């Protein structure tokens, strides 16, 4: 907890500034693990708070013509597939109370400039969701709480086959090919190693109502302290005792 000293020798509080910022929750986990369901349930249960959801998918790079021509060789599960600089700047703006326009990503055309962009307003809680949101330390540092959704690989694959064939109009051979070539190796090499950064690991994703209830209770407690610190910015003891 950082405090600064004034000329009078009295600490002024940068902690008070910190507590004006929203509570940021990161939700990571393998593709089709149920991250979206977990986020939806948290948002639903926090109905009386201002909550926004930011998806890492919105920050996929647009593909060049050359990459588009050979799209089946493109690795969408590698950290380099995302524009992390843009993600960071959008998150920083939101944390500092500015609205941002977040691109809409179209999985069918592989483009992230689908018009219109989504206007996201600053809120009390920001949930950042995506397969690799724990990968970059700069993104991790923005988070007050990190959740990893841990769902068995066979369940993830079954959901993915259903989703990619039904919603994205892909054929099953292409889905299985992408899974063995990119999705599974990237899960082992990049996603699973970030599980160690999680504060909370949720087995069975959105089916785990007990875990979601506990998480929501914890967020509510933190938001209560957040409000208290906004009203009484000189409550140093509260800051240092309860900081996550």
Asked if 31 interacts with ligand CTP (CB under 6 A), we say: yes
Q: Where are the beta strands (DSSP E) in 50-135?
A: 51-55, 100-106, 111-120, 125-129
Task: Give whichever of 31 and 128 is closer to ligand CTP, judged by the CB atom.
Answer: 31
Asked if 131 interacts with ligand CTP (CB under 6 A), we say: yes
Give the footprint of ligand CTP on residues 185-224 (CB under 6 A).
none
| Member of 24, 32, 54, 143 binding ligand CTP (CB under 6 A) | 32
Site stretch for ligand CTP (CB under 6 A), options 15-23, 30-38, 83-91, 220-228 = 30-38
Tell me which DSSP letter residue 224 carries. Answer: H
Contact 219, 127 (CB under 8 A): no
- The minimum distance between CB 115 and ligand CTP, in angstroms, equals 18
- Residue 193 vs residues 32, 76, 82, 169: alpha-carbon distances, Å: 17, 18, 18, 31
CB atoms within 10 A of CB 239: 21
| Member of 19, 41, 53, 77 binding ligand CTP (CB under 6 A) | 77
Cα torsion 37, 39, 44, 48 to 10°: value is 180
**Site residues (CB under 6 A) for ligand CTP?**
29, 31-36, 57, 60, 76-77, 107, 110, 129, 131, 183
């Amino acid at each position: 907890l950082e405090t600064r000293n004034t000329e009078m020798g009295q600490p002024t509080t940068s902690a008070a500034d910190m507590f004006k910022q929203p509570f940021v929750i990161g939700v990571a986990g393998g593709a089709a693990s149920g991250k979206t369901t977990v986020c939806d349930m948290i948002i639903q249960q926090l109905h009386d708070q201002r909550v926004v959801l930011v998806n890492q998918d919105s920050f996929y790079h647009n593909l060049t013509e050359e990459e588009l021509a050979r799209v089946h060789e493109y690795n969408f599960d590698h950290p380099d597939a995302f524009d992390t600089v843009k993600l960071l700047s959008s998150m920083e703006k939101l944390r500092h109370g500015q609205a941002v326009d977040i691109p809409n990503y179209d999985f069918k055309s592989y483009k992230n400039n689908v018009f219109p962009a989504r206007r996201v307003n600053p809120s009390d809680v920001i949930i950042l969701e995506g397969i690799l949101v724990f990968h970059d330390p700069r993104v991790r540092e923005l988070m007050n709480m990190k959740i990893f959704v841990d769902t068995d690989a066979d369940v993830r694959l079954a959901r993915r086959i259903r989703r990619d064939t039904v919603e994205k109009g892909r054929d099953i051979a292409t889905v299985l090919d992408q899974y063995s070539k990119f999705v599974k190796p990237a899960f082992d090499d990049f996603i699973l190693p970030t599980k160690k950064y999680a504060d909370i690991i949720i087995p069975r994703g959105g089916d785990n109502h007990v875990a979601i209830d506990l998480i929501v209770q914890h967020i509510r407690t933190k938001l209560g302290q957040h409000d208290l610190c906004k009203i009484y910015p000189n409550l140093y003891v509260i800051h240092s005792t309860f900081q996550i």
